[in-house]
Amino acid sequence: MDKVRVSIIGATGYAGVELVRILALHPEVEIVGITSDSYEGKSIQEVFPHLRPLGHRLPPKLLGHQADEALKEADVIFTSLPHGHAMGIARKVVEAGKYMIDLGADFRLKDAGSYRAWYGLEHACPDLLERAVYGLPEVRRDEIRRLGEKAGGIVANPGCYPTSVILGLAPLARSGLAPKRGIIVDSKSGVSGAGRGVSLKTHFCEVNENISAYSVGGTHRHVPEIERELSSLAGENVTISFTPHLCSMIRGILSTIYVPMDSTSPPVPEPRHGDRHQLGEYLRDSTVAASELEYRILELYRDFYKDAPFIDVLGTGNAASGAEAGTSQRADIQGPPEAPETKDVLGSNLCRIGLKFDSRTSTLVVVSVIDNLVKGAAGQAVQNMNVLMGFPETEGLSPVPIYP
């Protein structure tokens, strides 16, 4: 079988160069074009010496973004550009029967009005906006696969924050346990999430030994993306209160998500046995009952992600043991009692999720961590390509983080 020929438009930002590294090592891929307006004419190894060992697998020179060769020779075009740029080439890609995987924001929202409201631009191709598939494989794998059966199309790679938040909440939303209002999301990101461009806010003296909140009050552009996906999963409108923070680290996102759950919440399904219990019964009961609820939710997550190779749902310290629950089958759910950390996923395409039920406040606390440049950007784009082209979903992607 011939290798898939790919081009990368915008390869010298942090996400773009990570994409080059991953694709150059992919056994089913041939990179036929790499572009950068800033470094046109240079080799990418000149710009990024860490890629020198991969030189034999890379084109000799960086092209400009408008170079037709980058589009003409490729089957799949990855775009890693600021918002407003990818939509300028999207129609040309689709009409040529090729696939575009956009790591930017141009195709994440489904209507031109929302795009205008949140990004301040008129969308150049609203008809393609409606047809693009949201590229979160754990939730939309079948849609991505069906797109691969068509002659051309667009996959909108999710944002980094939305990836961590949606994966942290998807099982609850799908099961009807996510409340329509009241979910609080506190997300913290490394500085690479702000991009490679020079700015005062990412200057060393500004970010070192510092953490700062920004886009406070639900004004971050990722809010509509998160709410749209959660609402789609839930079958009703779900709103969140989302506050991102910039942290003094290079990579990683940690999202702590607070989900209110009370006696009016719907039943929690029991995946193994099919019986259902009202949350209120547990909330009014003892600590053992709370741990039983925690176990039920843990199993709900594991069942939802049972076919997701890059999702790691941790066991919890409070989850009911076999003796407490009256069945030996439950002894195997014990795992690390601590919440996941960003170092747990560094350099990998993993999303690691920890769950804890706070019985005192009737709140489920979900902690979701990703590497913002891999699962939050380049790795997820390659995962989407794998699904799109019919490759094993894990092909060319490392599930093993770097440590320390």
Please report, rounded to a whole number, the percentage of residues in the chain having pLDDT higher than 70.
87
Q: Which CATH class is domain 4-158+375-389?
A: alpha beta
CATH 3.30.360.10 for domain 162-372, yes or no, is yes
Q: Which two tokens stand for residue 381?
A: 């784009």
Mean pLDDT of 255-278: 66
Mean pLDDT of 30-57: 95
* pLDDT above 70: residue 92: yes
- Per-residue model confidence as pLDDT tens digits over 55-79: 999 999 999 988 788 899 999 999 9
- 286: Cβ–Cβ under 8 A, 6 or more apart, which residues? none
Is 125 an active-site residue? no
Q: What is the dihedral of CA 129, 133, 139, 145, to 10 degrees?
A: 170
For residue 231, give the 3-state DSSP assignment.
Answer: helix
- Per-residue model confidence as pLDDT tens digits over 137-162: 999 999 999 999 999 999 999 999 99
Ordered by start, the domain boundaries in the chain are 4-158+375-389, 162-372
Topology agreement, domain 4-158+375-389 and domain 162-372: no
Closest CA to 21 of 64, 75, 67, 57: 57
For residue 50, give the 3-state DSSP assignment.
Answer: helix
Q: Out of 125, 160, 247, 351, which one is annotated catalytic? A: 160
